[in-house]
Chain A
Amino acid sequence: MSDPVLQTQNVKFKYERNTPDVLDDVTMSIERNVKTAILGANGAGKSTLFSILNALRKPDSGEVLYNGSPLSYRKKNINRMRSEVSILFQNPNDMLFRPIVEQDVAYGPENMKLPKDEVQKRVDDALFAVGMSEFRKSPTMKLSYGQRKRITLAGVLAMKPKVLIMDEPTAGLDPQMACEVMEIAEQLYRSGVTVIMSSHDTDLTYSWADEIHVMRHGKCVYSGPAEPFYSDKVEVYLSGLMPPMAFVMNEGLSSCGTVEREPFPRTQCQMSAKIGNSKASAGTLHIIPVEDGSDINALIDDNGFGDMTTGIYGMSARRAQDSSKARIDFVYNGPENCTLKCLSGSDAVLFCDPVMVESARASADYINKGGFADISLDIRN
């Protein structure tokens, strides 16, 4: 059932008179708790759309609806809306307002007029979530680009948004940090936040998003699942994009009959399983939910996981790994890599946050459902 959290109806917008519309009749509906990606070439109007969604700019005509009711652009309503809808800007330098890390993270909650101890708690939690707790007293100026990105993410998380808009969240980050940011996005989604992301990286959004909206010259030219869009080569070309590699290869192989076209593989491991189609027996994927402070070493020893490949996924899992100094094989892309291991016949164990279990098993489920392999799942509670 459709339950839009943010909608635009026939929104038109331009920055100056006598210039072409930057947004030209955009009608778009962003569903609550659906992983949404906004795609488009440089200058297609993605960032402008975000500023409209956050009421930074008022459309010249048309309406923006939040939770089904039109934005009134009265200060009070807007403030209430902004305390629930947050934007993470692409460049972290645009969002650093205060010289010390913890002060900067506290900026949003303080502006929300929260009580002091609540602010303090939120800052602690947010810094913890992005793994920057030990930097809380550092000057922001001394931090690297990647660290600044984490701080600004913490600053947004501290406002506990219900909707989080991320503009190019992985741009300029090295692969591991990009991977971590995607993990945080996934975790937010699993904890009930609607995450909207713009990106040029079609591979990345393909593996993550459930629904895509494609912008072109200020218009929204497509909304829906990714595959029908990428099947239309002309549209993809006109939109300045390239189809994701997993999609291209699947199309290629299915066109000459090597594999069936559907189900569409979206990640490396789904693709590998589909192409490999190994008849050899697959291993077991153990998924162990962990809390902050769980002793991973003890869990490995108690369950006899000693020789298995290990992976972690999620914030609590990371902290548990950190505190228990456990040796983990896959610190990044845990679910993907562990599932791949299972495909090649060995067993793997994945420690993840309780909310992340669904995400952790997604690839294995895809593989089992498609009949490409039979991975046994062992999910503990």
Chain B
Amino acid sequence: MSEQAQMDAIAYSSKMLDWSPLGKLFFVICLLIVGLLTDSILVTLITFTIGLILMGYSTHFRVPLILTLAIGEAILIMILGSGMISIMGDANQPALWDGKFLWFTVHMTDASFQKAWVIFFRAIAGVTLMLSFACSTPIPHLAHALRSIKCPPEICELIVLIYRYAFLLLERFLIMLDAAQCRLGYNGAMTAVKSYAGAMTGTFIFSLELAEKSEASLACRNYRGYFPIYRMPQKMGVKWFAITIILVVALFLIGRETAGWIDMTAIFAPYMGW
């Protein structure tokens, strides 16, 4: 199965499936904003921990390989990014490390080093929070959430339909690639390219036929312009609002008090000889 289908399966087996999607979205976005506003490493660490706990809870504390890979990948990219930030400090400030590294001119200052860490933790906190939302909220729930905040209905219905057909098209595309193999479709590079093109064309034609047929079959089931939801996901109650706001305010205050508490330079100094 593809990654998309895997994510979907994870979302449907999530322990947080029944939580209000809008509530989850609100919570995650607020936490992200706090993380961005603060300069305190402690706060980013806290939001990161919240994200990890939520993700663990959502997946019954058995984080699937695909999520681990996603986080790992993100961390790798951020290490590179933060690394870049840390070595491009203000040239007027005293350097912790000065010189040439590969083809970069390195000028790492105390401020740039600290800043890189804050950004790094902000980023991974963001990723884990977003993933904890993604791995507990199937797209139809998201569409419903959007609908309830007065997102245009056409867009919501489109999201649901595309989502539903994406799986069917993907299924079809994968089968066609198999069929191509059976007919020696990868016998040489040019042939392989042609086979992929053929499979795509086939899938496209299938999508056209499917669209045509679904119009009639939707009518058969008396479709009247919107997709009803039987088991409504929970509404975003006051509880969600209250918890989020309290947490945000608390984190904001903590952030103000604790900016600079954790001195990464001091932590690293003994090891690096600064």
Contact = CB atoms under 8 A, between A and B. Distances in A.
Direct A–B contact present (CB less than 8 angstroms): yes
Interface of A: 15-17, 51, 54, 56, 79, 82-83, 86-87, 89, 91, 93-99, 107-108, 110-113, 141, 155-156, 159
30 contacts: A16-B6, A54-B181, A56-B178, A56-B182, A79-B184, A79-B187, A83-B184, A86-B183, A87-B182, A89-B179, A93-B206, A94-B172, A94-B179, A95-B179, A96-B202, A96-B205, A97-B176, A97-B199, A98-B198, A98-B201, A110-B191, A111-B184, A111-B191, A111-B195, A112-B184, A112-B187, A113-B187, A113-B188, A159-B183, A159-B184
Nearest to A51: B178
A97 B181 contact: no
B1 interface: yes
B253 interface: no
A87 B178 CA distance: 10
B180 interface: yes
A113 B186 CA distance: 12
Given A15-B1, A97-B198, A56 B187 contact: no
Interface in B178-228: 178-185, 187-188, 191, 195, 198-199, 201-202, 205-206
B206 A97 contact: no
A107 B184 CA distance: 9
A96 B198 CA distance: 8
Contact of A99 (B1, B6, B201): B201
Contacts, number: 72
Contacts of A98: 198, 201
A94 B176 contact: yes
Interface string B41-78: 00000000000000000000000010000000000000
Contacts of B176: 94-95, 97
A163 to B, nearest CB: 12
A156 B202 CA distance: 17
Give the interface size class of chain B.
20 to 34
B205 A141 contact: yes
Q: Kindly list the 9 A-B residue pairs having the minimum CB-CB distance in the complex, ordered from nearest.
A: A97-B198, A111-B184, A108-B183, A94-B175, A95-B179, A87-B182, A111-B187, A94-B179, A56-B178
Given A94-B176, A97-B195, A56 B184 contact: no
Contact of B183 (A51, A91, A155): A155
A155 B198 CA distance: 14
Interface string B1-27: 100001000000000000000000000
B182 A86 contact: yes
A56 B199 contact: no
Nearest to A98: B198
Given A89-B175, A94-B176, A54 B182 contact: yes
Given A96-B202, A98-B201, A112-B187, 18 more contacts: A17-B65, A79-B187, A82-B182, A82-B184, A87-B179, A94-B175, A94-B202, A95-B179, A96-B205, A97-B179, A97-B198, A98-B198, A107-B185, A107-B198, A111-B184, A111-B185, A113-B187, A159-B183
Interface string B145-186: 000000000000000000000000000100110111111110
A96 B201 CA distance: 9
Nearest to B192: A111
A155 B182 CA distance: 11
Contacts of B206: 93
Given A16-B1, A79-B187, A89-B175, A97 B182 contact: no
